Amino acid sequence: MTRFDCDLAILGSGFGGTLLAIIAQKLGHSVVLLERGRHPRFAIGESSTPLADFKLADIANRFGLDWLRPFAKYGPWKATNPHLPCGLKRGFSFFRHERGQPFTPRDDNANTLIVAASPNDETADTHWFRADFDSHLVDRAVEAGVPYLDNLETHAVRHDSRGWELDGTRGDETVAVRAEMLIDATGTGQVVAGALGIAPVDPAHLRVKSRALYSHFTGVAPWQSVLEEQYGTAATATHPFPCDAAALHQIIDNGWMWVLRFENGITSAGFSLDPGAHPIVPGESPEAEWSRLLNTYPSLARQFARAVPVRPFVRTGRLQRRLSQAAGPDWALLPHGAGFLDAWLSPGIAQTLFAVNRLGRILAEERAGPGRERRLNEYGQTVLRELAWVDEITGTCFACLDRFPVLVSVAALYFVAAIYCEERERAGLATPDDAFLLTDHPEYRAVADHIFRKGAGLPAADADAFAAEVRELLAPYNSCGLCDPDRCNMYPYTGSLSPLR
């Protein structure tokens, strides 16, 4: 039998759980990292953002992880870790497709939105090729002395006043773990939820409704080349950066497709679909559904004409879930375990890193006792508020997918909040306790509530007046010139700093 008696057990060796194990070990806690699978492995959640980068750099600085800091930007990543594949992400791009019609660029960009997040490649964000990135972090954890057990099947989890006991097997070997504290970083939260009887939130109370169909591919044509082959270089001349160097959102009726390009020749692509409008057809394979969806939108079929999946398709039921509790006196869930919504606007990596930073600070500042219990409770409440806020943003955006000009104004709520928070970081005004994306900013949330309620059912004919109203309401927070009709939905990076409050 292999037995561990430790301060902290972490279930799940994705990047969040592994970073926490490394932090805990560095802080002097005895920790064990437990994994059901084995690296390298496929993982979804691949696109970083500037807020994710700031938080990753903050974790590196706060906990003395100098080797981690280069991963916060594309240029330093490529210079220091060229063997680890990533993708260049300069911002976000959106294109609205019509059923049965090739995508046709409009002079006013009324079916296109591009928002830059960086001024150049050197300081850009990245797409993380998770199989290699997560595996690299596990190697770092092992080098740091973290005990790591993979291929572990957990059979029993018990909780009492002394902490946690886990029993499992690893091949023919029996494993027993005793820990004062448990962090569930598995991505589903079901281990802790099952042990403690934590109830899920009724999915009917969540605004986002989507299911997914996705894989990794080779041979995906750059979207820019598709546009230029059909319409010439004028089709992309106004783009503030190459539209494929982005989290590319191809918007269809009642859904959207993500396209994330890695520099190893692989592209992550998948559909997020309203399950009511796009029910799974009995007897239709995931491959057949993928082909049917592509062929419904001719320009997408053109982009994927030579694409070859390099792993089996994944097709899900409804993705959305949320638990009613995210932490307790001696346990915590990472955000992905506490709930999941959708990949829209790439919130996942940032939310996880915000949580890792908070939990690392708790481990650094509070030993077991009332202080830690209070901080963990605050952590759990914050995670749930942040998930609810992202549900509002994403759910309202999805309600506007059929009215692209209205969607552009609603999505501005996300971009303005993100850039506002980024510039607080640059100016040194952000605090470690700031919530993700202005979750705890009551004035901004009040503005958002008005915009969301009005935009969700607004006729497309009223989009211009709505855009003007949104521009006025967001003016106190809008430091980057979003919502400017003269820019025709093309927003280069400005980096200008407005007065922040």
Residue 298 lies in a domain: yes
**pLDDT exceeds cutoff 50 at 166:** yes
Give the pLDDT score at 187: 86
- What percentage of residues in the chain have a pLDDT greater than 70? 99
Residue 246 lies in a domain: yes
Domain boundary among 364, 379, 394: 379
- For residue 497, name the pLDDT band (cuts at 50, 70, 90): very low
**pLDDT exceeds cutoff 80 at 501:** no
Residue 50 lies in a domain: no
Alpha-carbon torsion (225, 227, 228, 233), positive or negative: negative
Specify whether 245 is located in the same domain as 339. no
**pLDDT exceeds cutoff 90 at 499:** no
**pLDDT exceeds cutoff 60 at 496:** no
CATH of the domain at 124: 3.30.9.100
- For residue 258, name the pLDDT band (cuts at 50, 70, 90): very high
Q: What is the pLDDT of residues 471-495, one digit of tens each?
A: 999 999 998 899 999 999 999 997 6
Alpha-carbon torsion (355, 131, 21, 164), positive or negative: positive
Q: Which residues pair with 93 in a beta bridge?
A: 114, 248
Residue 385 lies in a domain: no
Helices 404-426 and 463-474: crossing angle in degrees, nearest 10, is 10
Residue 67 lies in a domain: no
Specify whether 460 is located in the same domain as 424. yes
Specify whether 96 is located in the same domain as 26. no
**pLDDT exceeds cutoff 80 at 312:** yes
Mean pLDDT of the region 388-402? 98
Q: Are 138 and 151 in contact (CB under 8 A)?
A: no
Residue 293 lies in a domain: yes
Give the pLDDT score at 369: 87
Specify whether 214 is located in the same domain as 312. yes
Domain boundary among 318, 335, 352: 318
Specify whether 467 is located in the same domain as 408. yes
Residue 59 lies in a domain: no
Give the pLDDT score at 498: 39
Integer Cα distance of 205 and 228 in angstroms: 44
Give the pLDDT score at 260: 98
Specify whether 121 is located in the same domain as 230. yes
Give the pLDDT score at 1: 86
Alpha-carbon torsion (97, 101, 103, 105), positive or negative: negative
Specify whether 478 is located in the same domain as 364. no
- What percentage of residues in the chain have a pLDDT greater than 90? 96
Integer Cα distance of 319 and 443 in angstroms: 31
Q: Are 124 and 117 in contact (CB under 8 A)?
A: yes
CATH of the domain at 182: 3.50.50.60
Q: What is the pLDDT of residues 206-235, one digit of tens each?
A: 999 999 999 999 999 999 999 999 999 999
Specify whether 471 is located in the same domain as 361. no
Q: What is the pLDDT of residues 295-310, one digit of tens each?
A: 999 999 999 999 999 9
Specify whether 166 is located in the same domain as 274. no
- For residue 500, name the pLDDT band (cuts at 50, 70, 90): very low
Phi then psi dihedrals of residue 485, to 5 deg: -65, -25
Mean pLDDT score across all residues of the chain: 96
Distance in angstroms between the alpha carbons of the first and the last residue of the chain: 57
Which three-class secondary structure string do you get for 314-383? EECCCCCEEECCCEECCEEECHHHHEECCCCCCCHHHHHHHHHHHHHHHHHHCCCCHHHHHHHHHHHHHH
C-alpha angle 187/19/31, rounded to 5°? 95
Q: Are 448 and 392 in contact (CB under 8 A)?
A: yes
Which of 486, 485, 472, 479 is closest to 500 using CA atoms?
479
The number of helix segments (H) and strand segments (E) in the chain equals: 14, 21
Amino acid identity at 283? G
Specify whether 151 is located in the same domain as 226. no
Specify whether 351 is located in the same domain as 424. no
Domain boundary among 337, 363, 379: 379
- Containing structural domain, residue 154: 2-44+130-201+322-379
Specify whether 233 is located in the same domain as 303. yes
Question: Considering its fold, how many domains does the chain have in total?
Answer: 3
Q: Where are the alpha helices (DSSP H) in 87-156?
A: 130-143
Give the pLDDT score at 368: 82
**pLDDT exceeds cutoff 50 at 359:** yes
Q: Which residues pair with 259 in a beta bridge?
A: 248, 269
Integer Cα distance of 393 and 396 in angstroms: 5
Residue 261 lies in a domain: yes
Mean pLDDT of the region 30-39? 97
